[in-house]
Amino acid sequence: MKRQRSRVRAVLAAVLAAVCVGTAAPGQARAAGPGTYAFDPDATSVQGATANAEASELDEGVAYRSTIRRGEKLYYRVTLDDDSPAYVSAVAVPGDSGPVAYGDGITVSLRDLDDTRCGSQRATFGSGGYARPITAYASRMPKEGSTVCQQGGVYDVLVERESKATSDTAAWDLELRFLKEPRPRSGASLPTEGPESWPSAAPEPPAEKPQKRSGGAGYFEATGLESGQWKDAVEPGQTRFYRVPVDWGQQLHATARLSNSPDGTTEFVGNALTLSLDNPAGGNVADASLSYSGKPTTTSLRSLPPVAYRNRFASSAHVGAMRFAGWYYLSVSLSPELKQAYGGEPIPLELVVQVENDATESPYEEGGGVFGVTDRDKEMAREGQKAADAQEGGAMALVAATGIGLGSVLVLGLGAWTLLARRRAAQAPAAAADSSGPGGHRQPPPGGPPRQGW
């Protein structure tokens, strides 16, 4: 009977917890001050090794957290198959670590055990010279006729940090992820050369009025956006994250507009804002920046080709990064120098996002996973949801499916307790008579406890 009471308590607690989770409004960003970064709460801690033979292995699709100090070269390991394109990304998060210099940043490379480099990417803070989250990735691409990095097996991931002598010595946090791209359809006729040209003219701005949409504090909390004009506000030293689903054949345009200073201050701050775009595998695509003198000012990402399989064969890195469909991540960072001239209050921001063209067929044999766009992704972009909102939604599935509100849940709980009490009363006389077997030993209930079944 004690076991039955415990089961009832557990069920009620789970349902009530789901109801409480569901009361949060979708698309709302958690408060995050300048320098604060929201890591994936399910990320696994892992320590980088200075000797590759001692490196910890990263599993596919799992988020990891690590740290790296100035001048360090840290190894991790992954296992690749013979024919899947593979990507390992690292987000470097200096936080409030102090000053950074021009050229400070990280390099991520993927290498075989003979130290042959398969692919690499370097990310820096650019000419802005202020700390903000930056991301880079390394890849292994199967190539017919090539013998470099083509065999399946164990590979090294090397993350290197470069910081000038004048930069802060505090450790940077790292967020690591290893992904494999699905195989192309068998027998599909796929291109082997990059695009020669694409429409480069910026489209007309959307006619709709700007809508409020608060960005998140990290890639995991990036707020969904669809085509339109969006209003937010960013504090000096803060980075806001957004994500846009871009399907095969679609072309993305993005513009950031920084508002004027309400008090009329006109002090010049160079590289005051950085607009960045990263692809679904965590690779940087393009950056744009602007200077600020208290007047309205605008910056846009360079012209990018429509998402296509052929882009991976382009010689240009920013074209090659537009190689698959999925969530593309926009981030907006404000220089902390703005605080000295304009104070610490958030500055109004407008984002103009335009996704053009109808979606074309996926080149993959099966579903693309993170390298594809689903109807659910489009819905989340329309509603301004984050990845965290999708996970929380799972906890509400039972309640939502039955249309039960909080009051109904409480009524059901009281009913369960009443039923349990009646059963106890009915079973008490029989239990007094039959509870003992030969020799006075109590007999166990038949069947034993029940089996326990993102």
pLDDT digits (tens, 9 = 90+) for 374-386: 999 999 999 999 9
Counting every residue, how long is the chain? 454
Chain mean pLDDT for the chain: 83
Closest CA to 180 of 311, 362, 324, 322: 324
Instruction: State residue 10's pLDDT score.
Output: 42
Query: Mean pLDDT highest for which of 96-110, 177-191, 260-274?
Result: 260-274
Residues 264 and 402 in one domain: no
What's the confidence (pLDDT) of residue 187? 74
The Cα 387–Cα 395 span in angstroms is 14
Pick left, alpha or beta for residue 402 (phi over 0 → left; psi -120 to 50 → alpha; otherwise beta).
alpha
Tell me which of 30-39, 95-104, 109-118 is least confident: 30-39
In a domain, 39, yes or no: no
CA distance 85 to 139: 7
Cα–Cα separations (whole angstroms), residue 311 to 19, 242, 337, 387: 45, 23, 38, 27
Q: Do 377 and 287 belong together in one domain? A: yes
How many domains are there within the chain?
2
Residue 198 domain flag:
no
The answer on pLDDT for 41 being more than 80 is yes
Query: Are 366 and 418 members of one domain?
Result: no
**317/272 same-domain check:** yes
Instruction: Look at residue 392 in the predicted model and tell me its pLDDT.
Output: 63
Listed in sequence order, the residues at least 6 apart from 362 whose beta carbon sits closer than 8 Å to its beta carbon are 248, 325, 368, 372
Question: Is residue 63 situated within a structural domain?
Answer: yes
Is the same domain home to 249 and 284? Answer: yes
Residues 246 and 156 in one domain: yes
Q: Is residue 287 part of a domain?
A: yes
Residue 409 has pLDDT above 90, yes or no: no
pLDDT higher than 50, residue 227: yes
Per residue in 308-355, pLDDT (tens digit) is 999 999 999 999 999 999 999 999 999 999 999 999 999 999 999 999
- Which carries the bigger pLDDT value, residue 26 or residue 333? 333
- Answer for the pair 74, 58: CB distance below 8 angstroms, yes or no: no
Q: Same domain, yes or no, for 382 and 401?
A: no
Phi/psi at 305 (nearest 5 deg)?
A: -75, 160
The answer to whether 249 and 357 are in contact (CB under 8 A) is: yes
The answer on 285 and 167 residing in a single domain is yes
Q: Do 386 and 412 lie in a common domain?
A: no
Q: Sorting pLDDT into bands at 50, 70 and 90, what band is 9?
A: very low
Q: Is residue 10 part of a domain?
A: no
Is 437's pLDDT higher than 80? Answer: no
CA atoms within 13 A on the CB side of 392: 17
pLDDT above 50 (res 280): yes
Task: For residues 427 and 105, give the distance between their C-alpha atoms in angstroms, rounded to a whole number.
Answer: 71
pLDDT band for position 17 (50/70/90)? very low
Q: What's the confidence (pLDDT) of residue 102?
A: 86
Q: What angle do CA 83, 88, 94 make, to 5 degrees?
A: 175
Best CA proximity match to 140, nearest among 160, 113, 114, 110: 110
Q: Looking at the structure, do residues 137 and 248 belong to the same domain, yes or no?
A: yes
Q: What is the mean pLDDT of residues 172-190?
A: 91
Domain membership flag for residue 9: no
* Phi, psi dihedral angles at 244 (to 5 degrees): -130, 125
Does 404 score more than 70 pLDDT? Answer: no
The boundaries of the domain holding residue 225 are 44-186+208-395
Q: Domain boundary at 395, 410, 436, which?
A: 395
Examine the fold and report which residue of 372, 395, 418 is the final residue of a domain before the chain moves on: 395
Backbone angles phi, psi at 71, to 5 degrees: 80, 0
pLDDT at 135: 97
Query: Residues 408, 373: one domain?
Result: no
Extract the tokens encoding 192.
């082997």
When pLDDT is averaged across residues 244-248 and rounded to a whole number, the result is: 98
Mean pLDDT of the region 243-250: 98
**Letter string b/e over residues 201-223, b meaning 16 or more CB atoms within 10 A of that residue's CB:** eeeeeeeeebeebbbbbbbbbbb
In a domain, 249, yes or no: yes
Average pLDDT over residues 145-172: 92
Residue 263 lies in a domain: yes
Higher pLDDT, 163 or 449: 163
- Is there a single domain that holds both residue 409 and residue 336? no
- State the pLDDT at residue 426: 52
